[in-house]
Amino acid sequence: MVTRNDPYLGGSEGAPPPPPPGGYRGNTRVSRMMRPAAPPLPAPVAPALPAPRPSSSRAAKIVSAVVLAHALWLLFRLLLPGASSYYFTIGAITVQVLMLIAAIVILVGPRGRRLGTIALVVTLFINVATVGSVSALESAQSGNYDDYKTSEQRKWNAYPGIRGVDPAEILDKPSLEENIARTDDLNAKLRAALTTEFGITWTMHGENTLRNNRNGYGGESMLVDRSGPVWTSDRPMQSVADKRRLRDVVNRVMLQNGVSRTIVLSDPSYQSDPGNLERFYGSANPDQQHTWSMVSVDRQVTFYIDVQIFDLSQDPTGAFRTEREGQSARDGTPLEGVQISARGYELLSADKRDEFIAKLKTFGQ
């Protein structure tokens, strides 16, 4: 007979007893051993290698070398004389077009794309750089920028006067012919006075030269700058006392003929910067200068009479002699001695006065 206190009986008859707290010993190890194993990881797959790029063909290499050599020749040709006349010839343009076509043909082919790209880029860059540089230089040298101007700007290219200068002021000035006559007369009187004072004999070098003035609108005005011939003495002048006497004679002759301003440019009283005096005249001390320079100007500032004394005995370094030798080779003037010349600016010829006035009217002036 079974009693209630029997340890082998549970709470209900015939059922197994519940497991002890924490489960039976060894139950976790058994359950872990009974789990299925994880599937193995797949083997890593090596990345696919890119297909080898085909090498450039021999024809592509040859044509590319020719195109690049021509581009370098264009760049080198820019440094040689006559570049502007070369780049715009039919032959040069034809060759450039052919080189461009050759670079494009190489680029299209599968075995020349890399070389074709390089050749095309270099060709375009060099062509633009060289032709553009030549065009810019031509425009700068000639002052012709018509291709970049509006119609109104092109109209003002023909303005007869000078931008910013009152036309009435130009018409009130002595004409070119009057300027020449006036300065020639003053020059002759000055030479005669110096001959009387020092016994100098004079020699003329050159003749009157005219240079057209720009009008400030990209074209040329009807006004000119004039440079007269140079008169030189037959002997040097090295005595400081003689130089001062010459200065006094110049000042006296100019005053007698209505020219009240004679400036000694090389004198410290006019030029206070010792550095400039040394740079242009050899010394800040007039007694040690290789050049004495003076200019006489009329009240209207329509002409200048220049008088210079070159003295190589005050040239200890020989640099001034070298400079004078170069000048003498260009115009035939002596290395030292006295020189007299005349110049004028923004002068209108009497023969062109009526034309000047008529053209001004087309500009509302």
Give the phi and the psi of residue 64 in degrees, each rounded to 5.
-65, -40
Tell which residue, 303, 153, 142, 134, has the closest CA to residue 214: 142
CA neighbor of 271 nearest in space, from 285, 257, 259, 258: 285
Strand stretches in the chain, DSSP E: 202-205, 209-214, 220-227, 230-233, 261-264, 291-297, 303-310, 337-347
Q: How many Cα atoms occupy the beta-carbon half-sphere of 104 within 13 Å? A: 7
Beta-ladder partners of 178: none
What was the pLDDT predicted at 32? 52
pLDDT in tens, the chain (365 residues): 445 555 545 455 555 666 666 655 555 554 555 555 556 656 565 565 555 566 666 766 777 777 777 777 766 666 666 555 565 677 777 777 777 787 777 666 665 666 667 767 776 666 666 666 665 555 555 555 555 567 777 788 889 999 989 999 999 999 999 999 999 999 999 999 999 999 999 999 999 999 999 999 889 999 999 999 999 999 999 999 999 999 999 999 999 999 988 999 999 999 889 999 999 999 999 999 999 999 999 877 778 999 999 999 999 999 999 999 999 999 999 999 999 999 999 999 999 999 999 999 998 87
Torsional sign, CA 184, 185, 186, 188: positive
Annotated domain spans of the chain: 58-142, 167-352
CATH architecture of structural domain 167-352: 2-Layer Sandwich (3.30)
Residue 298's CB is within 10 A of a number of other CB atoms, namely 21
Task: Say which amino acid occupies 122.
Answer: V
